[in-house]
Amino acid sequence: MKRKILGVLLSTTMVAGMIAGCGGNSAAPAAEAPATEEAASEETAAEETTEDTASEDAASEETTEDTASEDAAAEETTEVAADEGKVLNVYAWNEEFKSRLTDHYPGYEEVDATHGKIGDVDVVWNITPSDDNAYQNNLDETLLKQADAAADDKIDLFLVEADYALKYVDTDYTMPLADLGITDADLADQYSYTQSIVTDSNGKLKGSSWQACSAGLIYNREAAKEVLGTDDPDEVQAAVSDWSKYVETAKKVQEAGYTMCSVNDTYRVYSNNVSGKWVQDGKLVIDDNLMNWVNDSMELVEAKAENTYDLWGDDWAKGKTPDGKIFCYFGPAWFFNFCLDADQEGTIANQGGWGYCVGPQSYFWGGTWICAATGTDNASLVKDIILTMTTDKAVLKDIAQKDADCVNSKTVLAELASDDSGNLELLGGQNPYQQLAEGAEKIDLSNLSAYDQGCNEEFQNAEKNYFEGNATPEEALDMFKKAVMEKYPEVTVD
């Protein structure tokens, strides 16, 4: 009976609707609410009673189950049915999770670039880059077909980022972790903010992450010695401990022949420390701290202390080498591994030439969450992957040490911070885990909303026109407001 109740919940027909999402053309397909546990229990009980009339013992057991309390019935729905699927379909936007699973999940065997094996289950990687919202568009289209898809074509698990997590979490396409049999106790060592991001409006947790993405200022040690006379993290932190000191230091950096960074590097530090959401009572609100970013950035652009390069572009990336003459980048631990090219000769990271400090304000950036797709026919395998990759302390410590990642375990980060096991070569042997752990505790997501991705992107796009002299401050704001009205017609813009 327990298995059949879950089966009813998983196979509930979904309809093709759309909810307001985080960016243009990025609304997630809305799902019809699943049948209630009570209705599913009654339907299944009737079916089981018919099936079991041939046996007195079975009838007796059935009667006992049918008269169980509602609480007991609710508990039964969390038991995961035996897996029947022979294909595990994983949807992601890059190779990050694939590399983590390949390197750290026991029993995973790589077949080729898009296939693997876990026991007798074939793992199929559906990887679509995020450019032009392609990943979300592909995920949305496939989720809309989930209910009618053949078993081997169903999505089993998929990955989401913080900027648009709520778009999927607040639909029935994502499965509550409790329905997989994952308990609060299983997740007790995680940082609370990582769970808030993937908790739906009904308080149900619908995803889990192996990362805790508190972030800071990653500085060029040689440049720090030249400009500040020291590369000691505490001394560098004192020089950038608030925005006024940061601006002062940036001008010294420029005088020494360096550029501090791009204006886009600092944006998330400001946007993570706003006083309210982008949309309040249906109206667009531009927070004062975002205007502080505009004003501080323009001051430094005019002083030639910061540039306006787009993140990830070729010009922006020149700072990875000494000849790039960049003082710092802003980023979390995943930035160490994925963005600084430590494995390439001639880079600053390859020479152990970066240092890390908190910077003007604590903030977080990104992270990857694993979500179970409603309708998966590999529920127990999905459960094991989530538990192993996001709660197993041995696995998490291995990820931190081999991939220079900041993992989602208070215990593991404390261990890494306590001895040389947390030292990172690309940081010149510095151990950043105490600062990263402290930053994770300070993260406040009370202002997170479904409008963040779209509004943040459009705000930066509009203000770039101002920074580069192609618009006045007023014209830049008008560009932004127009873009918001086109993207979110339900939002009132003054």
Q: How far apart are CA 251 and CA 273, in angstroms?
A: 24
Top CATH class, 214-365+424-429+440-487: alpha beta
β-pairing verdict for 363-364 and 306-307 = unpaired
Single out the residue of 311, 337, 344 nearest to residue 326, CA to CA.
Answer: 311
CA 81 from chain centre, in angstroms, equals 28
Structure tokens that stand for 286 in this block: 């531009």
Q: What share of the chain is helix, strand, coil (3-state, %, to 5)?
A: 50, 15, 35
**Over its length of 494 residues, how does the chain's per-residue pLDDT go in tens digits?**
322 223 322 333 332 332 333 333 334 444 333 333 333 333 333 343 334 434 444 444 444 444 343 343 334 333 444 567 999 999 999 999 999 999 999 999 999 999 999 999 999 999 999 999 999 999 999 999 999 999 999 999 999 998 899 999 999 999 999 999 999 999 999 999 999 999 999 999 999 999 999 999 999 999 999 999 999 999 999 999 999 999 999 999 999 999 999 999 999 999 999 999 999 999 999 999 999 999 999 999 999 999 999 999 999 999 999 999 999 999 999 999 889 999 999 999 999 999 999 999 999 998 999 999 999 999 999 999 999 999 999 999 999 999 989 999 999 999 999 999 899 999 999 999 999 999 999 888 889 888 999 999 999 999 999 999 999 999 999 999 999 999 999 999 99
Classify residue 215 as exposed, middle or buried by CB count within 10 Å of its CB (0-12, 13-18, 19+): buried
Top CATH class, 2-212+369-391: alpha beta
Same fold, 2-212+369-391 and 214-365+424-429+440-487: yes
Q: Within 13 A of 170's CA, how many CA atoms are on the CB side?
A: 17
Amino acid making up residue 355: G
Q: How far apart are CA 474 and CA 466, in angstroms?
A: 9
Single out the residue of 426, 124, 449, 75 nearest to residue 285, CA to CA.
Answer: 449
- From residue 45, give the alpha-carbon distance in Å to each of 7, 13, 61, 154: 13, 20, 11, 28
Domain ranges of the chain: 2-212+369-391, 214-365+424-429+440-487
